[in-house]
């Protein structure tokens, strides 16, 4: 993720852009693909999933809860037990709390058990949330649009099994780099692509 100066748009900077794991895809400014979890699952299954998440989160005892616990996106649902409206300080505190108490891991396990027949993947990413999407709709989905590119490097921080970068990091179609910060990513890019 990059915050751009006013007036700049990521669609103008890169040849290809893949928001939402590549389920929404652009070549320059032109839309070249889009998938919908709503269409894929159907409204009844989607409501069952969302209702279960809301009930589960109501019973979680964590230090703080804020707002926007479920973010409905085009190709996935993002679930945040602490709430996406938390402050950066609360986000950092939840990340530490979650590492000790495994809130997201246990939540994902409950979803896997309850919705085993829905064909869903659960992917823990970032500090405060996890994504829910149909099997096969992970970040490797974006590779469907760039088969003509002979060498693709992927940089991610959640490259462990169950992390939201795992599948594309492990893909035989990419050269994966596990990183811990934007600075580390830049250092590797400079070494790989900008040697003197």
**Separation between Cα atoms, residue 79 and residue 155, nearest integer Å:** 23
- The answer to whether 173 and 56 are in contact (CB under 8 A) is no
- The answer to whether 159 and 169 are in contact (CB under 8 A) is yes
User: Among residues 93, 82, 123, which one has the least CA distance to residue 105?
Assistant: 123
H/E element, 147:
none
| DSSP-derived secondary structure letter, 163 | B
Please, what is the average pLDDT of the chain? 92
How confident is the model at residue 77, as a pLDDT?
A: 95
Residues in Cβ contact with 74 at an 8 Å cutoff, skipping those fewer than 6 apart: 20, 23, 24, 34, 35, 36, 37
pLDDT in tens, 163-188: 889 999 999 999 999 999 999 999 99
- The answer to whether 116 and 155 are in contact (CB under 8 A) is no
pLDDT in tens, the chain (196 residues): 445 556 678 888 889 999 887 888 999 999 999 999 999 999 999 999 999 999 999 999 999 999 999 999 988 999 999 999 999 999 999 999 999 999 999 999 999 999 999 999 998 888 999 999 999 898 999 999 999 999 999 999 989 887 889 999 999 999 999 999 999 999 999 999 998 6
| Stated pTM of the model | 0.77
């Amino acid at each position: 993720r990059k915050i751009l100066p006013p007036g700049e748009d990521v669609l103008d900077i890169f040849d290809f852009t893949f928001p939402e794991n590549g389920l929404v895809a652009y070549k320059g400014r032109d839309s070249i693909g889009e998938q919908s979890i709503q269409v894929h699952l159907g409204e009844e299954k989607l409501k069952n999933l969302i209702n279960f998440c809301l009930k589960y989160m109501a019973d979680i005892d964590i230090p703080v809860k804020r707002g926007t616990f479920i973010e409905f996106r085009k190709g996935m649902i993002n679930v945040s037990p602490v709430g996406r409206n938390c402050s950066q300080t609360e986000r950092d505190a939840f990340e530490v709390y979650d590492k000790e108490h495994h809130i997201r891991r246990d939540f994902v396990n409950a979803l896997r058990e309850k919705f085993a027949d829905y064909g869903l993947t659960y992917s823990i990413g970032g500090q405060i949330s996890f994504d829910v999407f149909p099997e096969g709709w992970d970040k490797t989905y974006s590779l469907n649009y760039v088969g003509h590119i002979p060498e693709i490097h992927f940089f991610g921080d959640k490259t462990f099994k169950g992390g939201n970068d795992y599948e594309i990091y492990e893909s035989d179609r990419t050269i994966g780099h596990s990183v811990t910060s934007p600075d580390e990513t830049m250092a590797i890019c400079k070494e790989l692509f900008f040697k003197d």
